[in-house]
Every structure is written in structure tokens, then in C-alpha cells.
Amino acid sequence: MKLKLSTIDQLAGILAGIKFTKMKDRNASLTLLKNHLLLRKVCQDARADKEEIIRKFQEDWKDELAAEEKDRLENKSMVEHFDLLTARKDANKSIQEIFSREVDISLTPVSLDVFTDASWDVTLDQVATLRECGIIEG
């Protein structure tokens, strides 16, 4: 299945909240754990790229960021920070481009019945997302 890296990152976040050790079905627990590890691995480079963009932006604009924050607190105009605002927009666009790439990933589904044993901290919307992306079947 092809999924955007942003979706894969979201799925990894959802699975991170599941209490695998509370599941009665050990095979389903291991399947979800393997899915989670695969999702994290696929997103690892994208997360590293994102952190590098943020680090570089903060390093390059360190002085200007402090001045902008001061002006915001004093409710001053942001016009003189136009270059910073443009650079921030460009950095955010670069991050969005990274996470909008699609990746082919093969996940192993678990049944909805088995999944409910471990999903106490997961919302209905998150369950729907997991089902739409092939982690839950049924």
C-alpha cells in the first residue's frame, strides 16, 4: 500500500499509545509491534531531515528570531521581519514536501476484535485511521 510519510508518522504515533502487553492475543501483539517498528523505520530519515531543517533555520536566524519574539511581545509590526517570515515559510514548505512523499509499505493487519483488547487509549477516529490504512481489518 502506498502511504504518505505524514500518514505513516501519524500511524506510528497511534500505535505508540497501544498497550501491547495488555493484549490477550500474543500473535496480534507481535504483529502490531512489528508494524510499529516498520512505520518508525520508514519515517526515520524524514524525521531526521525535518530536524536538520529546523536546526539549520534556528541557527541561521538566531538573532532575528530573538528580535521577532521581542517585537511580538510588544505588539510591534512584523514588516521588518519579512525575510525571517519568508524563510520560515520556505522551511515549513520543505518539511511539508518531505512528509508528502509517498512510500510503498506492507503492513500486516490484525482483526478489530483482537485489537480492542489493547486500544483503551485510542480514539474512535484513530481506530478508523488504522483500519483505512490496513493495520486493522474487519
119, pLDDT greater than 60? no
pLDDT of residue 5: 97
Q: Pairing state of beta strands 110-111 and 136-137?
A: parallel
* Amino acid of residue 73: L
pLDDT in tens, 34-54: 999 999 999 999 999 999 999
Please name which of 4, 17, 14, 16 lies closest in space to residue 43, comparing C-alpha atoms.
4
Alpha helices in the chain (DSSP H): 5-16, 26-60, 62-73, 82-99, 112-115, 124-132
pLDDT in tens, 55-72: 999 999 999 999 999 999
pTM of the model: 0.82
**Backbone phi and psi for residue 111, each to the nearest 5 degrees, phi listed first:** -75, 150
Q: Pairing state of beta strands 102-104 and 2-4?
A: antiparallel
